[in-house]
Amino acid sequence: MKKTITLSLAALLTLAAFQTVQAQDKSATSKDAKAQKEAKRTEIREKMKNMTPEERKAHKEQVKEKIEKMSPEQKEALKQKVKEAKAEHRNHGKKAAKEAGKS
């Protein structure tokens, strides 16, 4: 009986440790993903800033052509992704305002 309880306790502790490690890994991965996303956005902003008006117009035309070639499912997925990005952007401003108010 004691051996079973000891094994069960050891299994629970191992499981708890494993879940903690997974949570930490997920948190680190999330931070890395956010950093990568920010780096990509910065890169795109810089690229757009350095374009001439003609280059910017040509770039927009290329993007429009790519979107026109997409299937309806891909277009819907893109719309959803844009909607999520806009919501994230709005929420980021709200979070910054809340943090500024707390300080």
Whether 6 shows a pLDDT value over 60: the answer reads: no
Give the predicted TM-score (pTM) of the model.
0.47
Please answer whether residues 67 and 75 qualify as being in contact, where contact means their C-beta atoms are separated by less than 8 angstroms. Answer: yes
Q: How far is CA 97 from CA 23, 43, 86, 94, 101, in A?
A: 28, 26, 17, 5, 6
Nearest-5° Cα angle at 83, 79 to 87:
170
In the prediction, which pLDDT does 54 show? 93
Using one digit for the tens of pLDDT, what is the confidence trace for 56-101? 899 889 989 998 999 999 999 999 999 988 888 888 766 666 666 6
Scan for tokens 């993903």, then name that residue: 33
